């Protein structure tokens, strides 16, 4: 019963959060602003939206190709089309149940390639570790490039005294966490240690694999494609086409966080992108329209590719 409640909560809570954020955002807009946004969508240059989708395809391909290196490291060989369709299905599934895509990828290769689930899942864990490190690098670059702007923005939202209290509370919480991690016998801590051990093991498998440099190249290339698709879409609207690298990198990082902490960014992505772009003089309506253009186009691509993969997986593997 508890597992069912937890499962439904993981689906519905992010969805309700997205609905609330959409309601919260659009109740702030006047009828004039709503019409203004409709004008952005009507007059957008969709060539750049389609171009961003074209670039995105290389991200799917590169992710599928990277996967084969870690699978081969374990002594297995897979057909590339199964890798690619498993990746497409994973993106599709993550639109419904957060993080279910990782499980679906492992299930697909187990079914169509005969590789044990736990071994396939280990390769996906390794990917997540590498992707996390690259994302942290992007976060560091964004704060370095736009430190003064972000500092002023945070201080405008949260007074310095409250920031100091939060910093002290955070330091105390971190020390308490370390002590609990080292000395506690709680079951949840033991479970977390086991998962952390799996992450370390997954990361070490990357270091030890034969084609680790190609693996790392594709890892960087995937994130290059992510930011390229984001950057390309800014040219769809005249109001966003002039923003510089600083705005792009900050918007990309915040947008990625929105996707990670909600149901693939539903509701949160456009709202947060608009907040960031306002720091660079972009009207709230234009920033929101850009956010919806970028999010909707990428989401539709995931739905189409995922749906086609669901259709063709059994067809292409019927003689297996």
- Max mean pLDDT range (121-130, 138-147, 195-204): 121-130
Instruction: Name residues whose C-beta falls within 8 Å of residue 40's C-beta, 6 or more positions apart in sequence.
Output: 237, 239, 285, 286, 289, 290
Bin 114: left if φ > 0, else alpha if -120 < ψ < 50, else beta: left
pLDDT above 70 covers what percent of the chain?
83
Query: What is the distance of C-alpha 96 from the center of its chain?
Result: 14
Across the range 61-66, mean pLDDT stands at 94
Q: What is the pLDDT of residues 287-318, one digit of tens each?
A: 999 999 999 999 999 999 999 999 999 888 88
Top pLDDT among 245 and 55 is at: 55
Predicted confidence band of residue 81 (pLDDT cuts 50, 70, 90): very high
Across the range 223-243, mean pLDDT stands at 93
Instruction: Please name the helix (run of DSSP H) or strand (run of DSSP E) that holds residue 3, with its range, or none.
Output: helix 2-26
Query: What proportions of the chain, in percent to the nearest 5, are helix, strand and coil?
Result: 85, 0, 15
Range in 57-61, 186-190, 279-283 with the lowest mean pLDDT: 186-190
- Taking the C-alpha atoms of residue 90 and residue 302, their distance in angstroms, rounded to an integer, is 9
- Taking the C-alpha atoms of residue 227 and residue 246, their distance in angstroms, rounded to an integer, is 12
Buried b / exposed e over 278-313, threshold 16 CB at 10 Å, is ebbebbbbbbbbbbbbbbebbbebbeebbeebeeeb
Number of CB atoms found within 10 A of residue 18's CB: 20
Quote the radius of gyration of the chain (alpha carbons, Å).
21
- Taking the C-alpha atoms of residue 156 and residue 269, their distance in angstroms, rounded to an integer, is 22
| Residue closest to 298 by CA, chosen among 121, 78, 118, 56 | 56
Buried b / exposed e over 93-113, threshold 16 CB at 10 Å, is bbbebbebbbebbbbbbbbbb
Report the pLDDT value the prediction gives residue 156, as an integer from 0 to 100.
Answer: 65
Range in 21-35, 73-87, 237-251 with the lowest mean pLDDT: 21-35
Predicted confidence band of residue 26 (pLDDT cuts 50, 70, 90): low
- Taking the C-alpha atoms of residue 245 and residue 249, their distance in angstroms, rounded to an integer, is 6
Report the pLDDT value the prediction gives residue 202, as an integer from 0 to 100.
Answer: 55
- 44 in Cβ contact with 233 (< 8 Å): no
Report the pLDDT value the prediction gives residue 278, as an integer from 0 to 100.
Answer: 87
| Residue closest to 257 by CA, chosen among 137, 139, 170, 156 | 139
Under DSSP, the state recorded for 158 is: S
Model confidence at 286: pLDDT above 80 = yes
- Taking the C-alpha atoms of residue 83 and residue 67, their distance in angstroms, rounded to an integer, is 7
Under DSSP, the state recorded for 235 is: G
Helices 245-261 + 117-145 axis angle, to 10: 140
- Taking the C-alpha atoms of residue 297 and residue 48, their distance in angstroms, rounded to an integer, is 11
Range in 109-123, 180-194, 249-263 with the lowest mean pLDDT: 180-194
Q: Give one DSSP letter per residue of 29-49, joined into a string.
A: S-HHHHHHHHHHHHH--HHHH
């Amino acid at each position: 019963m508890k597992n069912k409640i937890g499962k439904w909560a993981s689906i519905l809570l992010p969805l309700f959060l997205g609905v609330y954020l959409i309601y919260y955002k659009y109740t702030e807009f006047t009828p004039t602003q709503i019409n203004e946004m409709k004008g952005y969508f009507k007059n957008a240059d969709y060539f750049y939206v389609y171009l961003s989708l074209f670039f995105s395809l290389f991200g799917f391909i590169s992710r599928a190709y990277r996967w084969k290196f870690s699978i081969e490291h374990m002594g297995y060989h897979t057909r590339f089309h199964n890798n690619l369709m498993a990746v497409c299905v994973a993106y599709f599934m993550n639109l419904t149940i957060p993080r279910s895509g990782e499980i679906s990828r492992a299930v697909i290769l187990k079914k169509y390639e005969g590789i044990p689930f736990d071994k396939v899942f280990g390769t996906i864990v390794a990917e997540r570790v590498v992707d996390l490190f690259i994302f942290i690098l992007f976060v560091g670059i964004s704060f370095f490039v736009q430190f003064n702007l972000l500092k002023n923005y945070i201080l405008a939202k949260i007074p310095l005294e409250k920031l100091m209290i939060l910093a002290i509370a955070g330091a105390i919480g971190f020390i308490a966490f370390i002590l609990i991690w080292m000395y506690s016998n709680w079951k949840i801590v033991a479970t977390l240690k086991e998962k952390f051990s799996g992450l370390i093991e997954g990361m070490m498998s990357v270091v030890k694999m034969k084609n680790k440099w190609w693996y790392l190249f594709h890892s960087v290339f995937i994130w290059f494609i992510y930011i390229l698709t984001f950057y390309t879409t800014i040219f769809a609207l005249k109001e966003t086409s002039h923003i510089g690298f600083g705005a792009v990198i900050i918007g990309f990082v915040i947008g990625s966080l929105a996707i990670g902490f909600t149901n693939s960014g539903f509701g949160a992505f456009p709202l947060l992108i608009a907040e960031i772009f306002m720091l660079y003089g972009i009207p709230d309506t234009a920033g929101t329209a850009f956010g919806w253009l970028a999010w909707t186009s990428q989401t539709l691509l995931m739905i189409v590719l995922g749906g086609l993969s669901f259709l063709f997986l059994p067809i292409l593997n019927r003689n297996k």
